[in-house]
Amino acid sequence: MSLEAARAADVLTQLSGETRLLALAELVRCGKNGASLGELSYRLDLPLPKVGDACARLVALGVAIGSGNGFYRARLEGLREAAAAVERSQPIAGLLADYPQLRGNFSHGRLTSMPPTLSDRYEVLGELLSRFLALDGLYDEDEINKRLAEVTDDVAAVRRMLVDTGWLERDRAGTTYGPGRSRL
């Protein structure tokens, strides 16, 4: 895991703390004016030291800004940065940059929808996934499934699509797969 991805994971893990998440949500509700620790403590019905600790952690995570005099504001760019770091750490992210027409079919490095079969994107998706698999020989179905599971939940449908579009060849028994047509 890259340092950037580890940092993003830490941000998301730290936000799983109930008080931190409640404090951030309240700061978001307060908008650009933010709120003082006293106001947050009152609104959240939590002790001041607990709210102060939560806000200090939010600042350290980069999702809040403290003014130094007890006023805090949400900094949602920190969350966007963490989400972008997670997305960049996904195994298909580098290849997906070459296929901007497929961005709508992916979310955070995962295939979330298949293009319609008559769409040009259906064929292009096959090429992208073929490049991702980077097959250089014959593989059993379990290995193909394992590799595809890194980018999709519906492994069977994607594997079938790759065979249908010719990017993946299957033996007659349906147990061994190899590279299909070559990419230009």
Asked if residue 3 has pLDDT above 80, the reply is no
Query: Residue 16's pLDDT is what?
Result: 85
**Angle of helix 37-44 versus helix 48-61 axis, rounded to 10:** 110
- Find the distance separating the first CA and the last CA of the chain, reported in whole Å: 32
Q: Residue ranges of the domains in the chain? A: 3-81, 90-179
Query: Residue 1's pLDDT is what?
Result: 54
Asked if residue 174 has pLDDT above 90, the reply is no
Please choose, from the candidates 28, 56, 60, 23, the residue with its C-alpha nearest in 3D space to the C-alpha of residue 42: 23
CA angle 106, 62, 19 (to 5 degrees): 95
Q: Calculate the average pLDDT of the chain.
A: 88
3-state secondary structure of 128: helix
Task: Find out whether 151 and 162 touch, Cβ atoms under 8 Å.
Answer: no
Q: Look up residue 5 and give its DSSP letter.
A: H
Tell if the pTM clears 0.75, that is, is over it: no
Mean pLDDT, to the nearest integer, of 77-81?
84
Cα separation, 57 vs 41, in Å, equals 15
Q: Look up residue 74 and give its DSSP letter.
A: E
Fold: same for 3-81 and 90-179: yes
| CATH number belonging to the domain at 3-81, selected among 1.10.3210.10, 1.10.10.10, 3.40.50.10860, 3.40.50.2020 | 1.10.10.10
Percent of the chain residues past pLDDT 90, beyond the cut: 54
DSSP lists the bridge partners of residue 177 as 139, 170
More confident of the two residues 163 and 5: 163
Cα separation, 74 vs 23, in Å, equals 9
The count of other CB atoms within 10 Å of the CB of residue 159 is 21
User: What is the CATH class of 90-179?
Assistant: mainly alpha
Backbone angles phi, psi at 136, to 5 degrees: -125, 15
The count of other CB atoms within 10 Å of the CB of residue 143 is 14
The two tokens of residue 2 are 């890259």
